[in-house]
Amino acid sequence: MVDKVEKPQRSDSAIKSFTHQVAGHGKILRAQDDRMVFKPLNEREHQFYEGAIDHPLFRPFIPDYYGTLQLNGNADERVATDNQARKSSADLYICLENLLYGFENPCIMDVKLGVRLYDIDATPEKIAKMKAKAKERTVSQIGVMIGGISLPGRPAYEHKWLYKLTTDTITPDALVPYFAVAEESVGAEYRRFVIDQFIAEIKEYREVVKKSETRMVGSSLLLVYDASTKKYATFLAGNKSPSASSTISEDGDGALFDVRAIDFAHSHWVRGQGADEEYLFGLDNLIQLLSGLP
Protein backbone atom coordinates (compact mmCIF):
# COMPACT_ATOMS: atom_id res chain seq x y z
CA MET A 1 0.00 0.00 0.00
CA VAL A 2 0.98 3.65 -0.39
CA ASP A 3 2.77 5.13 2.63
CA LYS A 4 0.56 7.70 4.31
CA VAL A 5 1.28 11.41 4.49
CA GLU A 6 1.75 13.00 7.88
CA LYS A 7 -1.17 14.92 9.34
CA PRO A 8 -0.85 18.55 8.18
CA GLN A 9 -0.85 21.49 10.54
CA ARG A 10 -4.36 22.91 10.34
CA SER A 11 -3.22 26.45 11.08
CA ASP A 12 -1.21 26.52 7.85
CA SER A 13 -4.11 25.80 5.51
CA ALA A 14 -7.13 27.61 4.15
CA ILE A 15 -10.20 25.86 2.76
CA LYS A 16 -10.54 25.62 -1.01
CA SER A 17 -12.76 23.77 -3.49
CA PHE A 18 -11.85 20.19 -4.38
CA THR A 19 -11.89 19.83 -8.17
CA HIS A 20 -11.44 16.06 -8.60
CA GLN A 21 -14.73 14.78 -7.17
CA VAL A 22 -16.07 12.18 -9.62
CA ALA A 23 -19.01 10.72 -7.67
CA GLY A 24 -20.97 10.99 -4.44
CA HIS A 25 -23.13 13.64 -2.83
CA GLY A 26 -22.10 16.78 -0.98
CA LYS A 27 -19.38 19.22 -1.93
CA ILE A 28 -15.90 18.17 -0.84
CA LEU A 29 -13.38 20.84 0.17
CA ARG A 30 -9.59 20.71 0.45
CA ALA A 31 -6.82 22.28 2.45
CA GLN A 32 -4.70 24.85 0.65
CA ASP A 33 -1.65 22.57 0.90
CA ASP A 34 -3.68 19.76 -0.75
CA ARG A 35 -2.82 17.15 1.86
CA MET A 36 -6.28 16.97 3.42
CA VAL A 37 -9.88 17.03 2.20
CA PHE A 38 -13.03 17.89 4.14
CA LYS A 39 -16.20 15.93 3.48
CA PRO A 40 -19.64 16.93 4.83
CA LEU A 41 -20.17 14.87 7.96
CA ASN A 42 -22.54 11.93 7.71
CA GLU A 43 -22.88 10.39 11.16
CA ARG A 44 -22.85 6.80 9.92
CA GLU A 45 -19.73 7.41 7.83
CA HIS A 46 -18.15 9.19 10.77
CA GLN A 47 -18.85 6.18 12.99
CA PHE A 48 -17.37 3.85 10.37
CA TYR A 49 -14.09 5.80 10.36
CA GLU A 50 -14.09 5.89 14.16
CA GLY A 51 -14.69 2.13 14.25
CA ALA A 52 -11.84 1.50 11.81
CA ILE A 53 -9.44 2.50 14.57
CA ASP A 54 -10.05 -0.97 16.04
CA HIS A 55 -9.32 -2.70 12.71
CA PRO A 56 -5.61 -2.20 11.94
CA LEU A 57 -5.60 -4.51 8.92
CA PHE A 58 -8.44 -2.57 7.30
CA ARG A 59 -7.14 0.95 7.94
CA PRO A 60 -4.40 0.98 5.24
CA PHE A 61 -7.09 0.46 2.60
CA ILE A 62 -9.09 3.59 3.49
CA PRO A 63 -8.07 7.27 3.66
CA ASP A 64 -6.30 8.40 6.80
CA TYR A 65 -8.89 9.90 9.17
CA TYR A 66 -8.01 13.04 11.15
CA GLY A 67 -11.24 13.69 13.07
CA THR A 68 -13.87 16.37 12.50
CA LEU A 69 -13.95 20.06 11.67
CA GLN A 70 -16.55 22.81 12.04
CA LEU A 71 -16.74 25.61 9.50
CA ASN A 72 -18.35 28.79 10.80
CA GLY A 73 -19.49 31.22 8.13
CA ASN A 74 -16.36 32.08 6.14
CA ALA A 75 -14.89 28.99 4.48
CA ASP A 76 -11.42 30.03 5.62
CA GLU A 77 -12.41 29.94 9.29
CA ARG A 78 -11.90 26.46 10.75
CA VAL A 79 -12.67 25.39 14.30
CA ALA A 80 -11.99 21.85 15.50
CA THR A 81 -15.10 20.23 16.99
CA ASP A 82 -15.62 18.22 20.12
CA ASN A 83 -18.09 15.36 20.57
CA GLN A 84 -20.92 17.65 21.68
CA ALA A 85 -20.54 20.22 18.91
CA ARG A 86 -20.42 17.44 16.34
CA LYS A 87 -24.08 16.65 16.81
CA SER A 88 -25.37 20.21 17.10
CA SER A 89 -24.11 21.85 13.91
CA ALA A 90 -24.85 21.32 10.23
CA ASP A 91 -21.47 22.78 9.19
CA LEU A 92 -19.43 19.76 10.23
CA TYR A 93 -16.92 17.89 8.11
CA ILE A 94 -14.81 14.79 8.49
CA CYS A 95 -11.11 15.38 7.78
CA LEU A 96 -9.48 12.84 5.51
CA GLU A 97 -6.25 12.25 3.66
CA ASN A 98 -6.32 13.65 0.13
CA LEU A 99 -5.70 10.53 -1.94
CA LEU A 100 -4.71 12.64 -4.96
CA TYR A 101 -1.93 14.54 -3.21
CA GLY A 102 1.29 14.33 -5.22
CA PHE A 103 -0.31 13.09 -8.45
CA GLU A 104 0.61 15.16 -11.53
CA ASN A 105 -1.94 13.81 -14.02
CA PRO A 106 -4.35 11.65 -12.02
CA CYS A 107 -6.59 9.21 -13.86
CA ILE A 108 -9.45 8.48 -11.49
CA MET A 109 -12.16 5.83 -11.49
CA ASP A 110 -14.82 5.34 -8.81
CA VAL A 111 -16.12 1.75 -8.75
CA LYS A 112 -19.15 0.98 -6.59
CA LEU A 113 -19.20 -2.55 -5.22
CA GLY A 114 -21.81 -4.91 -3.84
CA VAL A 115 -25.22 -6.08 -4.98
CA ARG A 116 -27.40 -3.99 -2.64
CA LEU A 117 -28.19 -0.31 -3.02
CA TYR A 118 -30.20 -0.08 0.22
CA ASP A 119 -29.00 0.18 3.80
CA ILE A 120 -29.51 -2.52 6.42
CA ASP A 121 -32.18 -0.45 8.19
CA ALA A 122 -34.02 0.72 5.04
CA THR A 123 -37.81 0.76 5.01
CA PRO A 124 -39.69 -1.77 2.84
CA GLU A 125 -40.56 1.04 0.42
CA LYS A 126 -36.92 2.07 0.13
CA ILE A 127 -35.83 -1.53 -0.39
CA ALA A 128 -38.34 -2.00 -3.21
CA LYS A 129 -37.23 1.23 -4.87
CA MET A 130 -33.53 0.38 -4.64
CA LYS A 131 -34.04 -3.18 -5.88
CA ALA A 132 -35.82 -1.82 -8.96
CA LYS A 133 -32.98 0.64 -9.56
CA ALA A 134 -30.36 -2.08 -9.14
CA LYS A 135 -31.99 -4.18 -11.86
CA GLU A 136 -31.29 -1.36 -14.33
CA ARG A 137 -27.56 -1.36 -13.55
CA THR A 138 -24.66 -3.79 -13.58
CA VAL A 139 -24.57 -3.78 -9.78
CA SER A 140 -27.42 -6.31 -9.59
CA GLN A 141 -25.71 -8.79 -11.92
CA ILE A 142 -22.02 -8.54 -11.00
CA GLY A 143 -21.83 -6.29 -7.95
CA VAL A 144 -19.77 -3.74 -9.90
CA MET A 145 -20.88 -0.32 -11.15
CA ILE A 146 -18.72 2.50 -12.51
CA GLY A 147 -19.67 5.54 -10.46
CA GLY A 148 -17.43 8.08 -12.19
CA ILE A 149 -14.30 8.58 -14.29
CA SER A 150 -12.00 11.59 -14.57
CA LEU A 151 -9.10 11.77 -17.04
CA PRO A 152 -6.63 14.67 -17.39
CA GLY A 153 -7.46 17.10 -20.18
CA ARG A 154 -10.67 15.32 -21.13
CA PRO A 155 -14.35 16.02 -20.49
CA ALA A 156 -15.76 14.27 -17.44
CA TYR A 157 -17.69 11.09 -18.13
CA GLU A 158 -21.42 11.67 -17.79
CA HIS A 159 -22.64 9.59 -14.86
CA LYS A 160 -25.97 8.60 -16.38
CA TRP A 161 -24.11 7.06 -19.33
CA LEU A 162 -21.93 5.05 -16.97
CA TYR A 163 -25.01 3.78 -15.16
CA LYS A 164 -26.35 2.45 -18.45
CA LEU A 165 -23.39 0.14 -18.98
CA THR A 166 -24.30 -3.54 -19.23
CA THR A 167 -22.33 -6.63 -18.30
CA ASP A 168 -21.33 -6.85 -21.97
CA THR A 169 -20.15 -3.25 -22.34
CA ILE A 170 -18.64 -2.41 -18.95
CA THR A 171 -15.14 -3.55 -19.97
CA PRO A 172 -14.83 -2.19 -23.52
CA ASP A 173 -16.86 0.96 -22.95
CA ALA A 174 -15.43 2.03 -19.59
CA LEU A 175 -12.32 0.16 -18.50
CA VAL A 176 -10.46 0.15 -21.83
CA PRO A 177 -10.54 3.95 -22.36
CA TYR A 178 -9.64 4.52 -18.74
CA PHE A 179 -6.42 2.52 -19.05
CA ALA A 180 -5.70 3.72 -22.59
CA VAL A 181 -4.45 7.02 -21.19
CA ALA A 182 -1.57 5.15 -19.53
CA GLU A 183 -0.42 3.86 -22.92
CA GLU A 184 -1.02 7.13 -24.74
CA SER A 185 0.83 9.19 -22.15
CA VAL A 186 3.61 6.80 -21.13
CA GLY A 187 3.58 3.52 -23.06
CA ALA A 188 2.10 0.04 -23.37
CA GLU A 189 4.40 -1.29 -20.65
CA TYR A 190 3.06 1.26 -18.18
CA ARG A 191 -0.55 0.40 -19.04
CA ARG A 192 0.13 -3.26 -18.24
CA PHE A 193 1.99 -2.27 -15.09
CA VAL A 194 -0.95 -0.23 -13.79
CA ILE A 195 -3.50 -2.98 -14.48
CA ASP A 196 -1.33 -5.60 -12.79
CA GLN A 197 -0.76 -3.41 -9.73
CA PHE A 198 -4.47 -2.68 -9.40
CA ILE A 199 -5.23 -6.41 -9.51
CA ALA A 200 -2.57 -7.15 -6.88
CA GLU A 201 -3.83 -4.40 -4.56
CA ILE A 202 -7.47 -5.45 -4.90
CA LYS A 203 -6.59 -9.09 -4.18
CA GLU A 204 -4.75 -8.00 -1.05
CA TYR A 205 -7.71 -5.87 -0.02
CA ARG A 206 -10.09 -8.79 -0.66
CA GLU A 207 -8.23 -10.93 1.86
CA VAL A 208 -8.66 -8.23 4.48
CA VAL A 209 -12.38 -7.80 3.69
CA LYS A 210 -12.83 -11.56 3.97
CA LYS A 211 -11.58 -11.37 7.56
CA SER A 212 -13.57 -8.23 8.43
CA GLU A 213 -17.10 -8.09 9.77
CA THR A 214 -18.63 -5.28 7.74
CA ARG A 215 -21.63 -4.43 5.61
CA MET A 216 -20.42 -2.15 2.80
CA VAL A 217 -23.50 -0.69 1.14
CA GLY A 218 -22.96 1.94 -1.57
CA SER A 219 -19.22 2.01 -0.89
CA SER A 220 -16.67 2.46 -3.67
CA LEU A 221 -13.12 1.60 -4.55
CA LEU A 222 -11.18 4.61 -5.81
CA LEU A 223 -8.61 3.61 -8.42
CA VAL A 224 -6.01 6.23 -9.30
CA TYR A 225 -2.89 6.17 -11.44
CA ASP A 226 -0.61 8.95 -12.65
CA ALA A 227 -0.28 9.46 -16.42
CA SER A 228 3.21 10.88 -15.98
CA THR A 229 6.17 9.78 -18.10
CA LYS A 230 8.62 11.54 -15.78
CA LYS A 231 7.37 9.85 -12.64
CA TYR A 232 7.36 6.40 -14.23
CA ALA A 233 10.93 6.92 -15.45
CA THR A 234 11.95 8.02 -11.94
CA PHE A 235 10.22 4.97 -10.52
CA LEU A 236 12.13 2.62 -12.85
CA ALA A 237 15.44 4.39 -12.31
CA GLY A 238 15.06 3.99 -8.56
CA ASN A 239 14.68 0.21 -8.89
CA LYS A 240 11.63 0.31 -6.65
CA SER A 241 9.65 -2.85 -6.10
CA PRO A 242 7.04 -3.26 -8.84
CA SER A 243 4.53 -4.32 -6.20
CA ALA A 244 4.63 -1.06 -4.27
CA SER A 245 4.00 2.53 -5.27
CA SER A 246 6.39 5.32 -4.44
CA THR A 247 6.19 7.12 -1.12
CA ILE A 248 4.64 10.57 -0.95
CA SER A 249 7.39 12.96 0.07
CA GLU A 250 7.62 16.50 1.37
CA ASP A 251 8.57 17.97 -2.01
CA GLY A 252 5.30 16.85 -3.59
CA ASP A 253 6.45 13.68 -5.32
CA GLY A 254 3.67 11.15 -5.14
CA ALA A 255 2.67 7.58 -5.85
CA LEU A 256 2.21 6.12 -9.29
CA PHE A 257 -1.05 4.46 -8.31
CA ASP A 258 -3.40 3.92 -5.39
CA VAL A 259 -6.43 1.79 -4.55
CA ARG A 260 -8.55 2.79 -1.58
CA ALA A 261 -12.08 2.11 -0.31
CA ILE A 262 -14.15 5.27 0.15
CA ASP A 263 -17.73 6.44 0.84
CA PHE A 264 -19.12 4.81 3.97
CA ALA A 265 -22.40 6.68 4.49
CA HIS A 266 -24.23 3.31 4.50
CA SER A 267 -21.49 1.06 5.85
CA HIS A 268 -21.33 -0.67 9.23
CA TRP A 269 -19.08 -2.73 11.45
CA VAL A 270 -21.19 -5.79 12.35
CA ARG A 271 -19.57 -7.81 15.10
CA GLY A 272 -20.39 -11.51 14.98
CA GLN A 273 -22.04 -11.42 11.54
CA GLY A 274 -19.09 -12.36 9.35
CA ALA A 275 -17.80 -10.93 6.11
CA ASP A 276 -19.94 -9.09 3.54
CA GLU A 277 -20.39 -11.77 0.89
CA GLU A 278 -22.20 -9.44 -1.53
CA TYR A 279 -19.29 -7.00 -1.38
CA LEU A 280 -16.80 -9.84 -1.87
CA PHE A 281 -18.83 -10.92 -4.91
CA GLY A 282 -18.28 -7.47 -6.39
CA LEU A 283 -14.56 -7.54 -5.63
CA ASP A 284 -14.23 -10.95 -7.30
CA ASN A 285 -15.97 -9.70 -10.44
CA LEU A 286 -13.88 -6.52 -10.53
CA ILE A 287 -10.73 -8.64 -10.37
CA GLN A 288 -12.11 -10.76 -13.19
CA LEU A 289 -12.92 -7.71 -15.31
CA LEU A 290 -9.42 -6.29 -14.84
CA SER A 291 -7.79 -9.67 -15.45
CA GLY A 292 -9.64 -9.94 -18.76
CA LEU A 293 -8.13 -6.74 -20.14
CA PRO A 294 -5.53 -7.30 -22.89
Question: Do 25 and 156 have their domain in common?
Answer: no
3-state secondary structure at position 94: strand
Q: What is the pTM of this model?
A: 0.82
Question: Do 67 and 165 have their domain in common?
Answer: no
Q: Side chain identity at 244, as an amino acid letter?
A: A
Judge whether residue 269 has pLDDT over 60: yes
Question: Do 79 and 129 have their domain in common?
Answer: no
Question: Do 44 and 140 have their domain in common?
Answer: no
The answer to the question of residue 5 being in a domain is no
Look at residue 119 in the predicted model and tell me its pLDDT: 81
Residue 137, Ramachandran bin (φ over 0: left; ψ between -120 and 50: alpha; else beta): beta
Per-residue pLDDT reduced to its tens digit, 144-179: 999 999 999 888 787 788 988 999 999 999 999 999
Q: Pseudo-torsion of CA 248, 37, 226, 107, nearest 10°?
A: 170
- Asked which of 74, 97, 120 is the last residue of a domain, the reply is 97
- Asked which of 29, 63, 97 is the last residue of a domain, the reply is 97
Q: Which of 99, 107, 100, 106 is nearest to 65 (CA)?
A: 99
Look at residue 248 in the predicted model and tell me its pLDDT: 37
| pLDDT confidence tier of residue 15, bands split at 50, 70 and 90 | low
**Number of domains observed in the structure of the chain:** 2
Question: Do 81 and 115 have their domain in common?
Answer: no
Report the C-alpha gap between 107 and 20 in whole angstroms. Answer: 10
The answer to the question of residue 166 being in a domain is yes
Look at residue 84 in the predicted model and tell me its pLDDT: 41
Report the C-alpha gap between 202 and 221 in whole angstroms. Answer: 9
Question: Do 85 and 178 have their domain in common?
Answer: no
CATH classification at residue 272: 3.30.470.160
Question: Do 169 and 239 have their domain in common?
Answer: yes
Per-residue pLDDT reduced to its tens digit, 85-104: 444 446 899 999 999 999 99
Per-residue pLDDT reduced to its tens digit, 128-144: 877 777 777 898 899 99
- Asked which of 45, 71, 97 is the last residue of a domain, the reply is 97
Q: What mean pLDDT do residues 28-47 have? A: 89
Question: Do 25 and 93 have their domain in common?
Answer: yes
For residue 125, CA distances in Å to 129, 217, 219, 243, 268 come to 6, 17, 21, 46, 21
Q: Which domain holds residue 172?
A: 106-291
